[in-house]
Structure 1
């Protein structure tokens, strides 16, 4: 892939797209950027992203730390590169789906993608994603809307906001799950002991009617998955009104 004209691309973007040559430090043979990124992902999967370091990745590969600097200049650059690589490309979607079912499947697939590596949800979001896999996901989302009357600018907004819901919800669920694991007792059982019926009558009524417990109808999904699907349907309802308004 080559570029012509336009601004000079940052090094991390060139690396992600295979447009940058390795540096001058380290061995010229026996190692590749892809091997480094895959080793870093395996280490993060085993021990969490906090365990990542250039020296530990190098050790896992059987090379010196200096060897890695020929390909990756810093840990921060390494993390940005594995963020896109760990996400991976989107799956193939069935042809002939309506836009709503297609976008729903896209959102569910993206959620599964970000949950595949739990540490991915801990990575800071400091800039719009530019990696090839992220671009493939964006393109696949736009493809789900290609048969709608929405103008391109609105299609992009719909896909980006759907993705924001997917990633934001996954981050929230991950944080809540981690906090719940560290606490004793169930959330629903703790609330009645804290809430004064005169001050929180509506919240206590919701607790007493099981609003914070798993719905038996959603046993196959579990609370987190069912809640994700519930809010996704509400989002799709709103998008459907937008689509209808442009017919």
Structure 2
């Protein structure tokens, strides 16, 4: 009986494929297929049908190959998802240089959001492992660079960048899931019918103040921007405390 693969072993295998340390597809006769073609095909499938369609058999069908032939290039669906999640983000665009950290990291954050919007199904992929691929590493490096001139420790810089990244993914994922509902426009009306001002005074005031109304044209972007601005406001206070110590 085979011993089940551990999480560390799976991560190491994905890491090797992502960084080209493993050369898949070298055994047996050449079939005119490459790892890049497999990953690109998987992205095309997800763009057309969503992340739920990302299976070895569906990608193989899209390519016109058998499912077994794909295993010469990708050993498992988990590895396929790791490759797809890295490739879907792509490399970061040219970001501003010579600017203050807040201007830089804000530009970085909106570039991340734009990359995700190009493939919205990215938000549905499992977060089973830390980002390890070259595209993810390029984004992380670009984010860390925005804090290069600040006095905070390197480990803390990493926390600041990851905090923004997780905020964006989490907030955009919630917005995507909520947007799929058909009755969202009726939400304030439904609340007004059930909220007792005596029992829910704060909620009643929020409802009266139209807090739940989606009046903005680009509501999702406005909501993400509000949270990002408040997050960076806190970063300013935090970084200023380090500057005052030096």
Query: Under a length normalisation based on structure 2, what TM-score does the superposition of the two structures give?
Result: 0.89
Aligned to 1:96, the other structure's residue is in SS state coil
Distance apart, 1:62 and its partner CA? 2.2
Task: Name the Cα RMSD after superposition.
Answer: 1.9
Structure 1 counterpart of 2:109, from 101, 107, 110: 107
- Residue 85 of structure 1 is matched in structure 2 by 87
Instruction: Find the aligned partners of 1:56 and 1:227 in 2 and give their Cα distance.
Output: 36
Q: Partner of 1:246 in structure 2?
A: 242
Is the Cα contact below 8 Å between 1:115 and 1:170 reproduced in 2? no
Matched, 1:223 2:223: no
Contact 2:91 2:138 (8 Å CA) reproduced: yes
TM-score relative to the length of structure 1: 0.88
Give the alignment partner of residue 170 of structure 1, picking from 169, 172, 190: 172
1:33 matched to 2:42? The reply is no
Q: Shift in Å at residue 186 of structure 1?
A: 2.1
Counterpart of 2:209 in structure 1 is 209
Q: Whole-Å Cα distance in 2 between the matches of residues 52 and 12 of structure 1?
A: 17
Give the drift of 1:87: 1.2
- How far, CA to CA, are the matches of 2:33 and 2:40 in structure 1? 12
Instruction: Give the CA deviation at 1:27.
Output: 4.1
> Structure 1 stretch 109-118 or stretch 98-107: which is displaced more?
109-118
| Residues 36-85 of structure 1: CA deviation (Å, up to 9, x unaligned) | 00001100110111122222212221222222111011222211210111
Other structure's SS at 2:22 match: coil
**Structure 2: unaligned runs, 5 residues or longer:** 1-7
Does the C-alpha gap of structure 1 residues 74 and 12 become closer, same or farther in structure 2, counting only changes over 3 Å?
same
Aligned length in residues: 235
